[in-house]
Structure 1
């Protein structure tokens, strides 16, 4: 069967979905354990960040983008891409470290490693999913609730799928080579500059725009901007580029699972 190793792990995760739910709830609870704000804190941090963007760029400095941009106000434009990017970074980073963090458990219990990668990514989705929906509710009245808003559903599902695949693939690589954590952390820190989050795609030099497409979030950010800032359907390039990343990650992850199945626990 094609991609049999990946499908085997996905079936294992589905069969143990009750355990995944319990692990996810514990992961979310662990993120705010010992804080005075409690469960509000994981949601409050990204909200304060995007609020600061809006306050500084739109209210204090009243900065504006040039002609051809999806929005004229810089803060309004920035928030639409920054919040999905924060969700992506959180899910990928926590997914990447999930197997290392669960090394003791995996060495003592014959549990599928995919459960722990899924736990970390889904915990991020529990936190950032409502925030992304809140962002949509804040922007969609600007376009009188047009039909293209329905594209938000597939965009969010695609982002979750990419985070699950990429987080699990990086978790295996991090188990084999700890340098992966430092390298990916650096790439995520500069990735925001190699995407149309801080500036419209039209402002990037045309000869170098291909560099932006090396970022898996470029297409999705473009989709969010089209829907929330312009009330329009995402261009076809958003879907085929995202589908290309999805297909590539499926192939890579299947290969990584096949190569690491007998050694993964020893690496941990």
Structure 2
């Protein structure tokens, strides 16, 4: 059972040193030739969330209504926007990783999974420290309450789901290039079908199930509970995250088994 998926895990583990070298090169390539250097990949998302806070909390002093985890709009947006940017960055780069490595894979018999892992890990190297800084900025509001311990686990599960989904999409993109355009569109509208811009309570109750179809909804809900309310994430957050991971593992096992002989040719 899951034989193909287990083989991919073994390939990643046996080449873990190579994966780390590739990841460092990927991160370095993102700021190559820039005046800001290594700061630049971190500066872009930081400036974005700072703009949210400045515009909505300082300039306009906008407030959310009853039922929201916090009334300050900018404070609310930052908690969801940074994980959303991390998810989109890792997913987009992971999805395109095999297409970009096509020439190299034709010349070298390397496992394709290494390039997906490299791209998603490079995004994690950039965004994980920013998300940890976010946690350190918000948890003093609740005197470092015990639920903050759930934050690293939520972060880990988010990256696991991102990695699995990126690999699924990378295989589909190799077989059908339209996948890249379709996913790009879904990411552009996906933020409106998640609790990033508004609390779940503002979405019509009979349609809230639609939000749970977005893989970022569960971790964002968890972050909001931990950082804005100082509370443990509800069980629904954990179940949905685990369900996403399980379904993606099953899908990957099928896709890997069926595309093993043709994948490099598609590229």
Question: Is the aligned partner of 1:160 residue 2:159?
Answer: yes
Instruction: Please list the CA deviations of residues 176-232 of structure 1 after superposition, one character each: whole Å capped at 9, or x if unmatched.
Output: 000000000000110000000100000000111111011011111000000000000
Q: Identify unmatched segments of 5+ residues in structure 2.
A: none
Task: Tell me the TM-score normalised to structure 2 length.
Answer: 0.99
Instruction: Please list the CA deviations of residues 21-65 of structure 1 after superposition, one character each: whole Å capped at 9, or x if unmatched.
Output: 000000000000111001100000000000000001000100000
Structure 1 residue matching 2:64: 3-state secondary structure:
coil
Report the RMSD for the aligned CA atoms in angstroms: 0.5
**4+ long deviations beyond 6 Å:** none
**Number of aligned pairs?**
267
Measure, in 2, the Cα distance between the counterparts of 1:105 and 1:18.
18
Task: Tell me the TM-score normalised to structure 1 length.
Answer: 0.99
Q: Identify unmatched segments of 5+ residues in structure 1.
A: none
Per the alignment, residue 101 of structure 1 pairs with: 100
Measure, in 2, the Cα distance between the counterparts of 1:208 and 1:129.
32
Question: Is the aligned partner of 1:41 residue 2:40?
Answer: yes
Question: Is the aligned partner of 1:86 residue 2:75?
Answer: no
Structure 1 residue matching 2:192: 3-state secondary structure:
helix
**Displacement of 1:68:** 1.3
Measure, in 1, the Cα distance between the counterparts of 2:6 and 2:103.
25
Measure, in 2, the Cα distance between the counterparts of 1:246 and 1:25.
26
Per the alignment, residue 147 of structure 1 pairs with: 146
Instruction: Please list the CA deviations of residues 65-101 of structure 1 after superposition, one character each: whole Å capped at 9, or x if unmatched.
Output: 0011100000000000000000000000000000000
Per the alignment, residue 117 of structure 1 pairs with: 116
**Displacement of 1:157:** 0.7
Per the alignment, residue 215 of structure 2 pairs with: 216
